[in-house]
Structure 1
């Protein structure tokens, strides 16, 4: 079969990574994979995996983007794809409007994935218009049912995101060369309890809570250092500056380190005593939580959204009530003192995610499921 996946760009992130993983699985299974995006740093990797990339900027939130509908419709007719998989709202609107204008017998089967807990609106409703709608967690499945009651829930399929065991192996020990380079760059982390908060510097990720947690643990006498691992958001430079000032005012400049974006995040998980997820709003899934648990690192997170689901299944000792810094501090101290760690479980695997996604494609192509929406 021939599958077209559509998203705004390929510049990194969970949606983009999942797109490449599905593309690779399609090629390895002997299918044809096409990805439509505005391009980005991951295109080269996509091409090396055997997929084709079509550069089309459909993610710009502007009325001018609507001009692409007729060209996209012509292109879809030429491509004769079997599956059209939409992963983001603005590109989904362009593709859906183009797709609806095709004759019934020329339309590819339509799949959408609800990757986030989007603001509830007519604009976001496009992600529920697929002939199959993939929900990436139970949280997302409930979000669809609660906020888009017109959606036929029989077409909603929950497929958890997954992490590759080879990429995040349980019990990973960083090599000596990596450790030497790390301690040369961050000598103040050596011999201390390392606490890590991954995530870009955006307000929802809970950085203020993490700084308060660090202050509380330091006051309690724990020899901690904190790592905030994530790049600055170009549009939110003022927020990053706000965090730097807060760390300085709290007297934690020698205790909290901003590493920026890192490509060696799995090694940072491995040297961490505890990893945190303190998002103020529920996450649709919580990939960083799963990654750190896969490595075998204790992880503490607020008990809501996909993060709550993952911790409940893999490390319930890490669950804390949202916003309760005191409970978070006590739980951290307990984990460090008792050296608690998650077990090596086989839930939320990339292999299962890919198998179920490709099976969904194949099922949709069966003659019995050829009813158009």
Structure 2
């Protein structure tokens, strides 16, 4: 079987990671894997793992992208994949027009993955116009059925994102060397109850909620220390400054640490005593929450989106009513007063995700 995946770029993010994971599974299974994108820093890894990367500028949300329809059609005709898997809106539109210009008998089967809660409009609707539409969680299934009545429910296939439990083993502990370096870089974290908020610095991630929480708890729990693990895009520098000013004004500079962008997220999740998921908008899946639970760190998060699905299955005691600040306060107090064990995670594995996706490819290819 030959599968061609189509996405804007191969730099970083959930869509990119999922593309590489499926590509790796195809190669391991003896299938052929092609990926079309504008390139990026993950291309070297993709190719080293046995896939073929074809560079095409399919990433720009502008009319100039329409010039890529013919080159894309040429690539499809040249490589003749059995399956064309689109993972983003611009590539999905280009694929739509490229396939329309091909004789029906020569077209590959089309599959899409809805990775996000896109704005509801004609532009986004293209993601629901495929033979099979993969939804990454039940929340996404509901989003599609609520907003895109043109998509037959039987064509929607829920395949949860997954993680490799060996990469995030239960009970994992950072090395002594890592701890020494961390306490050297951030001496304020030693002998503290560390509350971690992972994720990029954007207004969506709930940093204001974290600041208010620390302010309320600092007198009663002097051992509490919050860490924000995630970098700020240059465009978000003003927001980061605004937060730091707010922290300073509230006298919390000694209580909240910004660790910046980190490649060692597993270590930070395992090192923390509890991890928070406080996004103002529902997330489609919530991989970081799952990674934290996988290593055995409790997660406290709002009851919405994919994070709620993960928590209700794995750690329901961490699930709190969305935006209920009192419930959040009480949940954190409970975790500080008595450490809560997290059972080993047996769901949401990377293997399940890959097996289900390849099985869907086969089923569609045989039609």
TM-score after normalising by structure 1: 0.96
Give deviations 1:121-179, integer Å, cap 9, x for gaps: 11110110111100000000000000001111111100001110111111001111111
1:194 alignment counterpart: 194
| d(CA) in 2 for partners of 1:88, 1:261 | 25
2:250 alignment counterpart: 250
- Taking only aligned residues, the RMSD between alpha carbons, in angstroms, comes to 1.0
Q: Which moved more, 1:189-198 or 1:92-101?
A: 92-101
Aligned pairs for 1:31-46 (under 5 A) are 31-46=31-46
| d(CA) in 1 for partners of 2:2, 2:246 | 52
Q: Which moved more, 1:338-347 or 1:130-139?
A: 338-347
1:177 alignment counterpart: 177
| d(CA) in 2 for partners of 1:219, 1:87 | 48
Query: What 5-or-longer segments of structure 2 have no aligned partner?
Result: none
Contact persistence 1:212–1:325 (CA under 8 A): no
| d(CA) in 1 for partners of 2:325, 2:341 | 21
Query: What 5-or-longer segments of structure 1 have no aligned partner?
Result: none
Q: Which moved more, 1:212-221 or 1:55-64?
A: 212-221
| d(CA) in 2 for partners of 1:317, 1:250 | 30
1:130 alignment counterpart: 130
| d(CA) in 1 for partners of 2:50, 2:106 | 26
Total equivalences in the alignment? 367
1:21 alignment counterpart: 21
| d(CA) in 2 for partners of 1:97, 1:241 | 44
Q: Which runs of 4+ in 1 moved over 6 A?
A: none
Aligned pairs for 1:1-373 (under 5 A) are 1-366=1-366, 369=367
| d(CA) in 2 for partners of 1:229, 1:259 | 5
How far off its partner does 1:219 sit?
Answer: 3.0
Give deviations 1:279-328, integer Å, cap 9, x for gaps: 00111111111110111000000001111111000001111122222211
Give 3-state SS (helix, strand or coil) of 1:64's partner.
helix
Contact persistence 2:57–2:68 (CA under 8 A): no
| d(CA) in 2 for partners of 1:234, 1:31 | 41
How far off its partner does 1:341 sit?
Answer: 2.4
Give 3-state SS (helix, strand or coil) of 2:11's partner.
coil
Q: Which moved more, 1:324-333 or 1:271-280?
A: 324-333
| d(CA) in 1 for partners of 2:222, 2:88 | 44
Give deviations 1:28-87, integer Å, cap 9, x for gaps: 111111111111121111111111111112121111111111111122111101111001
How far off its partner does 1:358 sit?
Answer: 0.4
| d(CA) in 1 for partners of 2:282, 2:345 | 24
Give 3-state SS (helix, strand or coil) of 1:93's partner.
helix
| d(CA) in 2 for partners of 1:222, 1:122 | 52
Give 3-state SS (helix, strand or coil) of 1:91's partner.
helix
Contact persistence 1:303–1:319 (CA under 8 A): yes
Q: Which moved more, 1:324-333 or 1:187-196?
A: 324-333
